[in-house]
Each structure stands twice: as structure tokens, then as C-alpha cells.
Chains A and B, each alone.
Chain A
Amino acid sequence: MLSANDVAVAAARLDDAERTRKQTGLISLSHPSATMDDAYAIQAAWAKIKLAKGRKVVGWKIGLTSKAMQSALNISTPDSGVLFDDMVFADGAQIPLTRFIQPRVEAEIAFVMKAPLKGPNVTAREVLAATSYVVPALEILDTRILRVDPATKTARTIVDTISDNAANAGLVLGEQKWKVSDVDLRWVGAIVSCNGEVEETGLGAGVLNDPALGIAWLANRLARYGEAISAGQVVLSGSFIRPIETSLGALIEADFGPFGAVSCRF
């Protein structure tokens, strides 16, 4: 377990890195004994810094929801991060690249909740009952921590990813709102293009077999810290494509077929 001071220092490093757009070193290297609980403590400490500056929590993101992403980090659970009000962009927005360090984009289904969800033992069915509507969404990922330590060539671990707010940096919500009873979430597909060329595709079922399961997992994880998903919050349920690298001028278009579409330009 890390000391309260270690946690506070790590959170301050992340906040500095985001503001100055200069990545900080691997927390998993400076604190080799750090656990996943420590990482969530760092994430929470960083969130507190942001709240103190006037940010508001608007919801949650769930990451590492596909088998492929979990295998890449050698773990078997998803992770989660906090969404803040200044991360929200409108559909079609021009997003300043200068706000981020190494932004990447993922496509997913966003759930907007109408009732609170408090674990433990939340099921996918309860998630659907508590959902106001679902919309197509893009998530912008960024990394405030170096992907690889230059000296030792050690790669980031799950501790770094979770501390770094599960890599969350932004979200773009589509305009089409769907009642969960009107759509088969498992078969919602996305064709995601960068500058008109298809880069990635995927299906809702790629997210733990059912996007609602990820949200049940989140509610149950939050319960361990006495927290819950609140009514009105947005939850990004996990990407069903691999992240797409962006660069200046990149037009990202996600075609969700009959479910809708969402786009942004950097």
C-alpha cells in the first residue's frame, strides 16, 4: 500500500502533466509495490484536485472491456475513470489537438442514467432498468504517463492506466437517443473512418458480450468505495474498436448504421 503522501504526489504529477502537456514517468516504476487499489486512490486524489478547481463530475468511463485489451495488459477485469464537464464535446466539434498529449479515439455506446445504481450485486437487467437512453459516442483517450520508460524500456502497467484516470480525456456524444428496449445493444455496430478511410470496426457484443455488463461491473466496483452511479450521469460502456491514432486535421467519423453517427475533427 502506498502512503497518503505518495498518493498525493502521484496525483499532483498527473495534474501537472496534463496542464503542461509533458508526460510524467511510470508510477509503476517509481512505486513497484503499488496495487490496483493504490491506483484507484491516485485517480480519486487527482479527481479531487480537479473538483477543487471547479470541475464537475458528469459520469464514468469503463475501459479494457475487450478480451484483446485485457490480454495486452495481462489482466482479466475492466478498469474505470471519471468524466468531467470540460471533457464533453458536441457532435461534429472541432477539437483543439493542443489540449492533449497523444490523443486517440475509440467508439462505444454511452448510457445516460435516469436512476441511481448502487452495488453490490447490480445485474445487467438492473442497468437497463436504470437507463434513460443510449447514444452513439466517441471517446478521446490520452496518456499523461509515458507509454514506455525510455531508460528501462518498461511498458506501462494497469497501475499506470488506472492512476491516469483510465486514459480518459474527452467524449463526443451523438444526437440520436435510443430507449434500451428499442435496440439490440449486442448487435450495434460501428464503422470508424479517419479522413474517409475505414480504420476499425466492431460490435457492441465485443464489450464483455454485452455493454450493460460493463456498467453492472462499474456499479459493483464503486460500491467497494461507498460510491454509486447517479441519475443523470453518462457512462461510456467500453470501446468495441481498437484506439485510432489522430493527428492535426484528422476527421474521425463513426457510422453506427441505423443506431446513428458521431464525428469530430482535430
Chain B
Amino acid sequence: MISAKSNILGRLRKGQSVQATAASRHELPTLPRLPKDQWKASFMELMSANHADIVETTEAGWQQALVSELGSRQIGNLVVASRAENLPLIEQLPRQLSGLTVTVFDQAVEAGADTAMRSTLFQQAEAGLSYASAALAETGSLALVTGPQEPRTLSLVPPLSIVVVRESTLLSGVAELFEHSFDKQQGQLLPTNLVLVSGPSKTADIQQTLAYGAHGPKSLLILWVNDLHAESVG
């Protein structure tokens, strides 16, 4: 409705000259950011407080850590995205864990129809494997940049969400993430869906009692890869 747009904008332009009586516009410096030496501790503390499970591991060891977590949690069906990093996993995981089926998220979740991928996600999938683009210290969050290699529903629909994150991607907070990765002037565009995840899904809607596993994952498992330490040792 073109007329609605011009009517609304017309009224707003008229109102732009109206100074609010209570106006007190401040020119303020940006907020201080968390010092770098506290980043990791802050991330770990906040994530643990939000009921995420964190396994600290190494570049060489995280796949084995994944195997042992899948085994101890008796996961029968793991969904992984179609990305190069997952190729060895797709081949090796079922060999290492006899009861495990690995499903590759390589078909579109078609609109309207209850296609194979949709029913796999909603019915069979017990866990989904994601890779975080960054970890944020001040809020204890993982940044998931969705796209062909990181489907939106992969970290949302299966009851267990497993996220691999490398320590080298740790940043102070959301302000730094935006400056660092999504500066439009530099041609760094936002993905169709950027999600910050800070724990398993939860609700306190019933008498302020916290319950985990509202609509999204019931558990969040973080595989924390200490890639910085490997460098300093090597």
C-alpha cells in the first residue's frame, strides 16, 4: 500500500521538527570491554551456568572426544552438514560406533511437503553437529553463521545440539563480533540467518520454574578446541 507508506512517512517528517520535552541526548563513549585475559573464564562460567556441557579438547583430539560423547550418550542418529570438514566423520563415525547412523544434511527441506529431510530432522535425528564461527566471552554465546554448510535447523530441531568451537575465534562480545566479521563497508555481509546461542532452549513460563528443552535442543554440548595452545607448544 503505497498511500499507507507515504502517509506514515509524511506524518513522521512533520514530527521530526517536534523536539521531545524530555529529550536529553547523550554523546557517550562506548562501553568498556572485558579484558582479554578474562575471556575464556567468562565464557566457560556463563555457558556452564546456562546448562551447556563443555568438553575441552584439542585439534587432534576433538573427533575422538565426539566419538566418546556420542557413545556415552547413546546417540543413534547424528545429522551433519554437507561440508568438507565432515567428510572423515561421515566415513569413520559409523565404524567406531556400531549403533550410530550418520545422516548428511544434503537435501533441501522442501516447502509445503513433509519430505525425507524434514521427517528425518523431526523424527529420527537425536543430535546435530554444528560449527561456531565465533565464541563471545561477555555473554557466553556461540555465533552460528548459517548457510549451505550450516543449515538453520541443524542446531535447532535435534534434541542434542553439538557445537565445535575453536578457542582462536573467542571475542570479547557481540560488539566486537559485528566489527570483526560483519562490517558492511568492508563488504562483509550478514548471512541470511546469524544466530547467537547461549545454552540449550529453556522456558520459565510456568510459575517462574526453569525447564530445559522448550522447543529447541534439550542439551547443548560444546567441543572446545584449544587450538591456541597447540600453536604455542608447537
Query: Are chains A and B native binding partners rather than an unrelated pairing?
Result: no
B residues contacting A by CB (< 8 A) are none
A residues contacting B by CB (< 8 A) are none
